[in-house]
């Protein structure tokens, strides 16, 4: 559950579905169309929206977080939220487009998207669904080696399964302190959030001077503080990565759809653990 999720909303921000009917003026979609849904609802008028960065809109409302989401029996969504599901992509895989897009966006923010091998040593801290998706998408894009930190054995096993599938070299660690012993990373992803001190542990012991840290973890407000002097002295770049956007072509969701089209059944094996 996202921090700040409104209590009364129907959850589910990772969605696929079938168009039942369309509102007046909608020309591109019709009943029966299979779609993935980008759950960001925004004003469509501010600078951020006009640039294709809905996630930065001051009026942003996320389906499944701030308003009803994918566990609803039916949902009214704006036309711009839809992306066509190819016939080869199952409904279940369609629901994975959203988390894949989160990873695509983070890899773009890190500068790893077009040439992942040029980024140097990569560390992914946190192997929840976001961290594991980062492992999967970076491997799909061609990253050949990665260090990961996952507290639980089943998380590290899932990362290993992904690494084997892509023939990627994986260095798994149970804690950030054990990861700090090896060669420091050029790029690190923080995918834990909450009250975790791992961001500061990365700054203190896991990142090379001049390195980049991409923050994807959703932190509790006011719980974790970073000393800017550490960033200055080590010339570390701290990068926030929020959701996904349409700032670059193709959009993060469009890239994610291609990933799912190619790898949907494998991703289902790893990421779909329960069916209700
Ligand atoms: Zn806006």
For the chain, how far is it from start to end, CA to CA, in angstroms?
Answer: 17
Q: What is the pLDDT of residue 168?
A: 97
Q: What is the pLDDT of residue 47?
A: 98
46 Cα: distance to centroid of ligand 1 (angstroms):
4
69 Cα: distance to centroid of ligand 1 (angstroms):
20
63 Cα: distance to centroid of ligand 1 (angstroms):
15
CB-CB contact of 19 with 33 (8 Å)? yes
d(CA 55, CA 256): 17
Would you give per-residue pLDDT tens digits along the chain (276 residues)?
A: 455 566 789 999 999 999 999 999 999 999 999 999 999 999 999 999 999 999 999 999 999 999 999 999 999 999 999 999 999 999 999 999 999 999 999 999 999 998 888 889 999 999 999 999 999 999 999 999 999 999 999 999 999 999 999 999 999 999 999 988 888 999 999 999 999 999 999 999 999 999 999 999 999 999 999 999 999 999 999 999 999 999 999 999 999 999 999 999 999 999 998 888
d(CA 55, CA 61): 9
232 Cα: distance to centroid of ligand 1 (angstroms):
33
Q: Which residues contact 65 (CB under 8 A, 6 or more apart)?
A: 2, 4, 5, 6, 9, 11, 13, 39
106 Cα: distance to centroid of ligand 1 (angstroms):
21
**In the chain, domain spans:** 15-85, 100-240
51 Cα: distance to centroid of ligand 1 (angstroms):
9
Q: What is the pLDDT of residue 179?
A: 86
- Neighbour-count burial of 85, counting CB atoms closer than 10 A to its CB (0-12 exposed, 13-18 middle, 19+ buried): buried
66 Cα: distance to centroid of ligand 1 (angstroms):
16
Q: What is the pLDDT of residue 118?
A: 82
At the topology level, CATH places domain 100-240 in: Rossmann fold (3.40.50)
Q: What is the pLDDT of residue 38?
A: 98
CB-CB contact of 256 with 100 (8 Å)? yes
43 Cα: distance to centroid of ligand 1 (angstroms):
4
The strand pairing partners of 43, in sequence order, are none
57 Cα: distance to centroid of ligand 1 (angstroms):
4
Residue recorded with tokens 């260095």: 171
243 Cα: distance to centroid of ligand 1 (angstroms):
15
How many Cβ atoms are within 10 Å of 240's Cβ, its own excluded?
Answer: 9
How many Cβ atoms are within 10 Å of 91's Cβ, its own excluded?
Answer: 13
- The backbone region for 194, taken as left when phi is positive above 0, alpha when psi lies in -120 to 50, beta otherwise, is left
How many Cβ atoms are within 10 Å of 243's Cβ, its own excluded?
Answer: 22
CATH 3.90.180.10 fits 15-85, yes or no: yes
Q: What is the pLDDT of residue 182?
A: 82
**Rounded-to-5 percentages of helix, strand, coil across the chain:** 35, 20, 45
Q: What is the pLDDT of residue 1?
A: 46
């Amino acid at each position: 559950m996202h921090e700040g999720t409104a209590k009364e909303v129907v959850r589910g921000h990772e969605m696929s579905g079938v168009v039942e009917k369309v509102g007046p003026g909608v020309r591109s979609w019709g009943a029966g169309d299979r779609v993935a849904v980008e759950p960001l609802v925004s004003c469509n008028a501010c600078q951020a929206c006009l640039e294709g960065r809905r996630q930065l809109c001051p009026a942003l409302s996320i389906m499944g977080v701030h308003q009803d989401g994918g566990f609803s029996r039916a949902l009214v969504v704006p036309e711009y939220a839809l992306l066509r599901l190819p016939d080869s992509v199952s409904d279940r895989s369609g629901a994975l487009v959203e988390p894949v897009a989160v990873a695509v966006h983070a890899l773009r923010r890190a500068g790893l998207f077009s040439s992942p091998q040029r980024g140097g040593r990569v560390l992914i801290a946190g192997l929840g669904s976001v961290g594991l998706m980062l492992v999967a998408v970076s491997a799909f894009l061609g990253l050949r080696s990665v260090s990961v930190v996952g507290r639980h054995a089943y998380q590290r096993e899932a990362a290993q399964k992904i690494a084997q599938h892509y023939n990627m070299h994986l260095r798994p660690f149970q804690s950030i302190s054990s990861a700090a012993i090896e060669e420091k990373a050029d790029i690190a992803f923080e995918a834990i959030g909450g009250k975790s001190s791992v961001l500061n542990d990365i700054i203190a012991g896991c990142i090379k001077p001049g390195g980049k840290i991409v923050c994807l973890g959703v932190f509790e407000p006011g719980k974790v503080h970073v000393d800017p002097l550490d960033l200055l002295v080590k010339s570390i770049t701290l990068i926030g990565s929020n959701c996904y956007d349409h700032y670059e072509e193709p959009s993060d969701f469009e890239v994610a759809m291609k990933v799912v089209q190619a790898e949907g059944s494998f991703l289902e094996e790893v990421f779909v653990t329960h069916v209700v």
